[in-house]
Structure 1
Amino acid sequence: MTTDLPAPSLAQLFLVGRFACRVGDDDVRLTPTAERVLAFLALARRPVRRHQLAGTLWPEVTDSQALTRLRSTLWKVPTAHRTALVEADATTVSLHRGTAVDLYALDDPDASDTTPVTPMADGELLPGWCDEWVLVERERHRQLRLHALEDRCARACEQGRYTDALRAGLEAVAQEPLRESAHRRVIEVHLAEGNSAEALNQYESFRTLLRAELGLAPSPAIRALVRPLLGRPAD
């Protein structure tokens, strides 16, 4: 007679805005080095060779010492949590395939359609972390999030969900005030609602900011949106 082992609890990693870890209903406290291991594996999105992982996280010591530190770090994570978070063999280590990572939502091009009113994870990726492997991914996350917000704004506007559209568009503007495509999406929502004054106000605020910060004029594309409202060429 065999006894089925219970399925491992779902693990969750939160990297946007802060580092946090949950396994099932438990908040898991990890050492700083364990946090860095899990974050590296999450950002890699694939199995990583042990030598590469250890050498990246402990570059100041020999390869042998770095591998020892990696093994020690992993074994200090309680077994029940470790098996839910990490998969490892003799040569590679990876995040457990069942681990949910907040960052990955932006990797799904249809996320904006399937969850149109659910706020995206807000904040900077791993704030305060200065490792080069974090900085590269942080900029990638920033760009993807801006594009996702603009796409969400456009799709919601097309569906007549103007409140959701404005929420996404204004969030993109707040994150990057000099990003013209974000302002353009907001103007398009105001125009779709018939709020000409709001559209003009958005355009003028962007034009003033752009001139003050960069000494530039808005592009022909955004000027064309408001030109019919002015009765004269848009500046």
Structure 2
Amino acid sequence: MTDTRGNPDVPHQLTAAERPAPAHRPAQRTPGRVAVALLGGFRLTLDGSDVELPGGAQRLTAALALSGRMSRSRLAGTLWPETEEHRALARLRTGIWRVNQAAPELVVTAAGEIALHARTEVDVRDVVDRSLRVLHGGEVEPAVWSSGEEAGDLLPGWEDEWLADARERLRQMRLHVMETVAERLCETGSYGLAIEVALTVLRADMLRESAHRVLVRVHLAEGNIGEAWRAYETCVHVLDRELGVRPTRATSDLLAGRPPGVRRRGLSHPH
């Protein structure tokens, strides 16, 4: 091979040893342990450390945490319903950039839809999954009902319209789960805990007749007929005062046929 390094008219061909190393291409960043908490307030953590996000980026993250995945136009319209579409989409792009700057690859796009990374932990999803297992006959985990009040409401203080359906769904699920738990506890003879769980439901919604009914059943199962009548009378009084109605047949039949002598003076007989 002719050496051309000394000839200025011939371009010098670099040897393998002289060629610069190829530019290093970093591998795609994968998020660490990412958790989004929505109960009791918004919180984003990355590997256990809090991540600060501005308000718009928080709402973007929360909307995806609740919905799972959404198209760009739908997500933009949900978050900024009173803004022109092109401006809403611009805000969305900015929001995605800000989230991914704080927590790399947290927001991803696939098949034209936007979602949180599949490894993202979301407290609401966890509560819903465990609750559905209980409602379908699965084992009752203490965390499903014991932390119901402690966990807090869904994003308290946020007034966004898109939260209304999610809040009501979560509220109804919590109440149904706690009623189911109270009934299961009653079946196993854990009457004190069953009463406490039933009363927790009534503290959340005193007009919930099904919870009054559970409480009456527990008292009857424990053999406390007087307490059952007292619980029934409370139900009668609350429904009459607030709604102007009487308990349904399903509730009144629980005490129908009970010896009148066990009733306290002033308690109305179910009919």
Q: 1:18 aligns with which of 41, 52, 68?
A: 41
Question: Deviation string for 1:101-160 (max 9, x for gaps)?
Answer: 222222442247444322244343222322221112212222222111111111222222
After TM superposition, the score normalised by the length of structure 1 is 0.84
Q: Any conservation in 1 of the 2:36–2:121 contact (CA below 8 Å)?
A: yes
Q: Any conservation in 1 of the 2:64–2:70 contact (CA below 8 Å)?
A: yes
Partner SS state of residue 171, structure 1: helix
Q: Distance in 2 between matches of 1:180 and 1:152?
A: 16
Alignment-derived partner of residue 75 in structure 2:
53
Q: Return 113-122 or 132-141, whichever deviates more.
A: 113-122
Alignment-derived partner of residue 222 in structure 1:
251
Instruction: State the Cα distance separating 1:200 from its structure 2 match.
Output: 1.8
Q: Identity over the aligned pairs, expressed in percent?
A: 39
1:93 maps to amino acid: I
Q: 1:91 aligns with which of 103, 106, 112?
A: 112
Q: Any conservation in 1 of the 2:36–2:120 contact (CA below 8 Å)?
A: yes
Instruction: State the Cα distance separating 1:36 from its structure 2 match.
Output: 0.7
Q: 1:143 aligns with which of 148, 156, 172?
A: 172
Alignment-derived partner of residue 152 in structure 1:
181
Q: Any conservation in 2 of the 1:16–1:126 contact (CA below 8 Å)?
A: yes
Larger Rg: 2
**Is 2:250 the partner of 1:234?**
no
Q: Any conservation in 1 of the 2:239–2:245 contact (CA below 8 Å)?
A: yes
Q: Compared with structure 1, are the counterparts of its residues 124 and 209 closer, same or farther at alpha carbon in structure 2 (3 Å cutoff)?
A: same
**Is 2:141 the partner of 1:116?**
yes
Alignment-derived partner of residue 210 in structure 2:
181
Q: Compared with structure 1, are the counterparts of its residues 221 and 131 closer, same or farther at alpha carbon in structure 2 (3 Å cutoff)?
A: same
Q: 1:33 aligns with which of 41, 56, 62?
A: 56
Larger helix proportion of the pair: 1
1:76 maps to amino acid: R
Q: Any conservation in 1 of the 2:148–2:174 contact (CA below 8 Å)?
A: no
Q: 1:77 aligns with which of 77, 82, 99?
A: 99
Q: Which runs of 5+ in 2 are unaligned?
A: 1-26, 262-268
> Which structure exhibits the higher relative contact order, with contacts defined as CA atoms closer than 8 Å and separated by 6 or more residues?
1
Q: Return 224-233 or 36-45, whichever deviates more.
A: 224-233
Q: Compared with structure 1, are the counterparts of its residues 191 and 91 closer, same or farther at alpha carbon in structure 2 (3 Å cutoff)?
A: same
1:220 maps to amino acid: R
Q: Distance in 2 between matches of 1:180 and 1:82?
A: 48
Q: Distance in 1 between matches of 2:147 and 2:139?
A: 12
After TM superposition, the score normalised by the length of structure 2 is 0.74
